[in-house]
Chain A
Amino acid sequence: MYIWKCWRDTRSFFIAFLVVAAGAMPFIGLTSRGSNMVRDVGMTAVSGTFGLITMIVALGLGAIGATHEFAEQATHFLFTQPRSRQYFVWAGWSVGGIELAIIAAVGLLASWATLAVYGIRPFSAPLLGSIQERNIVAMFLYSFFVYALTYSLTAVLRSGLKGLGASLGTLTALSAFAVLMRVRWNMRLPTPVEKIGGLPLAASYVVWMSIALLFVYGAQVAMERAEI
Chain B
Amino acid sequence: MTELAIGTKDLTKTYDTIRAVSGIDLNVPKGGIYGFLGRNGAGKTTTIKMLLGLARPTAGSIQVLGMDASSDLLGILQRTAFVSEKKTLYPSLTPSDLVRFSRGFYPTWSGSAVEKYARLFEIPMKQRFEKLSNGNQTKVWLLLALCQGADLLVLDEPTSALDPVSLDQLMRVLAEDTLDRGCTIFFSSHQLEEVERIAEYVGVIDGGNLLIEARLDDIKSEFRLIIAAGNSLPAETSAQVLSVDVQDGFYRYVVTKDADGFAAGLSRSGATVTSIAPLSLREIFLHLVRKEQPCTSGNAGATRVLSSSLS
Contacts and interface: CB of A to CB of B under 8 A. Distances in A.
**Are A and B in direct contact (Cβ within 8 Å)?**
yes
A74 B102 CA distance: 13
Contacts of A4: 100-101, 104
A68 interface: yes
A228 B251 CA distance: 48
B101 A79 contact: no
Given A4-B100, A227-B54, A82 B88 contact: no
Interface string B86-100: 101111110001001
B74 A1 contact: no
A84 B53 CA distance: 11
A80 interface: yes
Interface string A209-228: 00000000000000000011
A79 B105 CA distance: 12
A5 interface: yes
Interface residues of B, number: 27
A68 to B, nearest CB: 7
Contacts of B97: 5, 8
Given A80-B52, A227-B54, A74 B88 contact: yes
B39 interface: no
B55 A228 contact: yes
Contacts of B54: 76, 79-80, 227-228
A20 B49 CA distance: 45
Interface stretch (B77-85, B239-247, B263-271): B77-85
A73 interface: yes
A197 B56 CA distance: 44
Contacts of A228: 49, 54-55
Nearest to A84: B74
Nearest to A77: B89
A77 B84 contact: yes
Contacts of B80: 80
Nearest to B55: A227
B100 A227 contact: no
B100 A74 contact: no
B89 A74 contact: yes
Interface in B45-89: 49, 52-56, 74, 77-78, 80, 82, 84, 86, 88-89
Contacts of B90: 5, 68, 72, 74, 77
Contacts of A83: 74, 105
Nearest to B103: A1
A82 B104 contact: no
Contacts of B105: 1, 81-83
Contacts of A1: 100-105
A2 interface: yes
20 contacts: A1-B100, A1-B103, A1-B104, A1-B105, A2-B104, A4-B100, A5-B93, A9-B92, A72-B90, A74-B90, A76-B86, A77-B90, A79-B54, A80-B53, A80-B54, A80-B80, A80-B82, A81-B105, A83-B74, A228-B49
The 6 closest A-B pairs by CB, nearest first: A1-B104, A82-B78, A228-B54, A73-B88, A82-B77, A76-B84
